[in-house]
Amino acid sequence: MIIVNNLSISFGKKKVLNNLHFHVQQGEIFGFLGPSGAGKTTTIKILTNQLIPTKGSIQVNASTSQIGILSDNSGVYERLTVWRNLQFFAELHNSQENVEQILKKVKLWDDKDKKVKDLSKGMHQRLLLACAIVHKPKLLFLDEPTASLDPATVEAIHDLLLELKNEGTTIFLTTHNMEEASKLCDHIAFLNKGKIVELATILELKLKYALNKVRITFNDNTTLEVAKDKKELIKALQKTNASIISIHSLEPTLADIFLQLTGRNLK
Amino acid sequence: MRFYKIKALLKLGLQDLLKNANVLIYIILPIGFAFLYSSMDTMPKDFCFALCVLLSLAMVPVALMGTVIAEEKEKNTLRTLMLNDVKASEILIAKALICLIFVVINNILIYYICGLSLTNFLTYQLIGLFTGLAIIFFGAVVGLLAKNQMSAGLLSMPFMLLLMAPLFISMLESKVLTKLSSLLPTDAMMSLFTAISATKYTFKSVGIPIIVIASWFIISYILFNIVYKKVGLDN
């Protein structure tokens, strides 16, 4: 759906994106992870023709009318109601999609007659998402869609994104929330200072950066972290008389992997 | 150009504008003045009409047009529209149509309030609309340059003063200024009203004002194109 080769962009002397290569498959959720200022939004702006790259090529296999975008630059008409806003975006796309159905999907049906200026931040974000999907886009760009939202709203948005993915929508998601990326994404690219430092599936990442350790929990409430080695394990167990409650292999989180790769946190 | 998009933008724009007190003032003020002037016994009906239409033309196509475009930028809806496959030309046409609708409504109301006879109704309305069309691009230029509603208000000031200049110049009795004023579209419009009211149809009284207004249409269109090429709609 998206093919990016050699993509670079500079603002003045500052190189914001440096030689990015990635492919996004049709029907997948592609996570673009990185801390603030890493170049995530700039990448979306290039992919949606809001910025022209300094170098490289991009191929987006969807026409403008088949793309939906939700970013922190998205806006709706504050003096009008939720219903009227969504109806307007449906009219703009000549969309046959049912406005009522979409409002129910984003859980805004009960608030359809509220003016946008009276909505909470979470409701506002859900309306923006509804406007972005009202024309059933083939490709959806989401720039930090759940940033600073309450857990219930985040959960609702995640469910909706998975539903859209199951319906065949390709989603390009930027986030610095590792849990979100773990839950939703098929492929993940780590972006740091304008460069992709890793690109893989969640499973590939976890295997590649496995800590090679197990955590043993004993019935006296003590825990022990031991290397995944038979001899080491036996040696450790011989040192205690307590009974084993559980043995779990230790898996790195995406934040651990990012930290390992870049030496900085994903915030 | 896709008409269903312009239709959607037009419908929404009208609804939104009617709920926006900040810009409704540009529409209501000339009507208020029409009520005020028409209640003065010393004010000739034709002059009352010309004065209020001039005020309306300085406000609606320029300040209103500029402000509604600037607000779309300020609230990020302009960017959202353009990312939703709406072309800049479609947005500008819809905004211009909204303003021209209010130019016509205002002119009809002012005509009625000033109590003019129905004889010249259609001609006066056509002249008002023709002048509105000639200066609507100034409003678009204001919209292109302004980053928010406040700056749109400031940027429209010189255009509004220029368009209202015939009012002040007529009080000064300066031949040079009167000559210069006759080159303004609003002055030409007032000359046309006078000619039609006096049924005096000569080249000087009708032909020249029409040429002046048409020239302003070309000038404002050229200016709009220069600014548009330089800054674009969503700068």
Which residues does B contribute to its contact with A (CB < 8 Å)? 4-5, 7-9, 11-12, 15-16, 19-20, 75-81, 83-86
Mean pLDDT in residue range A29-56: 89
Query: Chain B: residue nearest A80 by CA?
Result: B16
Structure token digits, residue B123: 């001609």
Mean of all residue pLDDT scores within chain A: 87
% residues pLDDT > 90 (chain B): 58
- Complex confidence, ipTM: 0.86
Could you state, in order of their start, the residue ranges of all structural domains in chain B? 3-231
Chain B residues with CB under 8 Å of A134 CB are none
Write the pLDDT tens digit of every residue in B38-76: 888 888 888 888 889 999 998 999 999 999 999 999 998
pLDDT, position B207: 92
pLDDT level of residue B234 (50, 70, 90 thresholds): low
What is the model's pTM?
0.85
* Record: contact A76-B80, CB cut-off 8 A: yes
Contacts of B20 in chain A (CB under 8 A): 79
pLDDT in tens, A235-267: 878 877 888 888 887 777 777 777 877 776 655
How far is A85 from chain B, CA to nearest CA, in Å? Answer: 9
The predicted pLDDT at position A77 comes to 95
Lowest mean pLDDT, pick from A36-40, A168-172, B133-137: A36-40
Chain A residues with beta carbon closer than 8 angstroms to that of B83 = 48, 50, 67, 69, 74
pLDDT surpassing 70 at residue B235 = no
Q: What is the pLDDT of residue A266?
A: 58
Q: How close is the nearest chain B Cα to the Cα of A206, in Å?
A: 36
For residue B28, pLDDT beyond 90: yes
Closest CA to A40 of A161, A176, A218, A230: A176
In the Cβ-directed half-sphere of A228, how many Cα atoms lie within 13 Å? 10
Please report the pLDDT score of residue B231 as a whole number.
80
Amino acid identity of residue A265, one-letter, is N
Contacts of A78 in chain B (CB under 8 A): 75
Average pLDDT over residues A226-236: 81
Q: Read off the pLDDT band of B17 (50, 70, 90).
A: very high
Say if residue B151's pLDDT is above 70.
yes
Residue of A48, A71, A77 best to disrupt the B interface, most CBs of B under 10 A? A77
Q: Is the pLDDT of residue A23 over 90?
A: yes
DSSP secondary structure string for all residues of A181-219: HHHH-SEEEEEETTEEEEEEEHHHHHHHT---EEEEEET
Minimum Cα–Cα distance from A73: chain B residue: B76
Q: Which residue of A has its CA nearest to B11?
A: A88
Verify whether the Cβ–Cβ distance B76 to A64 is below 8 Å: no
Number of A:B CB contacts under 8 A?
58
Compute the average pLDDT of residues A186-212: 85
Collect contacts of B215-222 with beta carbons under 8 A, ≥24 apart.
B216/B134, B216/B135, B216/B184, B216/B185, B216/B188, B217/B133, B217/B134, B217/B137, B220/B134, B220/B135, B220/B136, B220/B137, B220/B138, B220/B141, B221/B137
Cross-chain Cβ contact B85/A89 below 8 Å: no
Range scoring the smallest mean pLDDT among A168-172, A230-234, B87-91? A230-234
Predicted confidence at residue A127, as pLDDT, reads 93
Integer-rounded Cα Rg, in Å, for chain B is 18
Mean pLDDT in chain B? 90
Percent of chain A exceeding pLDDT 90 equals 38
pLDDT of residue B215 exceeding 80, the answer is yes
Q: Which residue numbers of A have CB closer than 8 Å to B's CBs?
A: 48, 50, 63-65, 67, 69, 73-80, 84, 88-89, 91-94, 131
pLDDT at B72: 92
**Amino acid A131: pLDDT:** 93
Pick from B8, B75, B83: CB nearest A88: B8
Provide mean pLDDT across the span A47-66. Answer: 89
Per the listing, tokens 């080249």 go with: B203
Mapped onto helix, strand or coil, the DSSP state of residue A223 is strand
Instruction: Report residue A154's pLDDT band, with 50, 70 and 90 as the boundaries.
Output: confident
Predicted local confidence at residue A228, as pLDDT: 78
Q: Is the dihedral of CA B86, B223, B107, B40 positive or negative?
A: positive
Return the pLDDT at B93. 93
Q: Does B9 sit within 8 Å of A75, measured CB to CB?
A: no
- Which residue type is seen at A74? S
pLDDT digits (tens, 9 = 90+) for A174-192: 988 888 888 899 999 988 8
pLDDT at residue A262, rounded to an integer: 78
Q: What is the pLDDT of residues A67-89, one digit of tens each?
A: 999 988 889 999 999 999 999 99
What percent of chain B shows pLDDT beyond 70? 99
Name residue, tokens 């307590």: A242
Check residue A265 and give its pLDDT. Answer: 65
Distance in angstroms (rounded) separating the CA atoms of residues B81 and B86: 6
pLDDT-based confidence at B32, cuts 50/70/90? Answer: very high
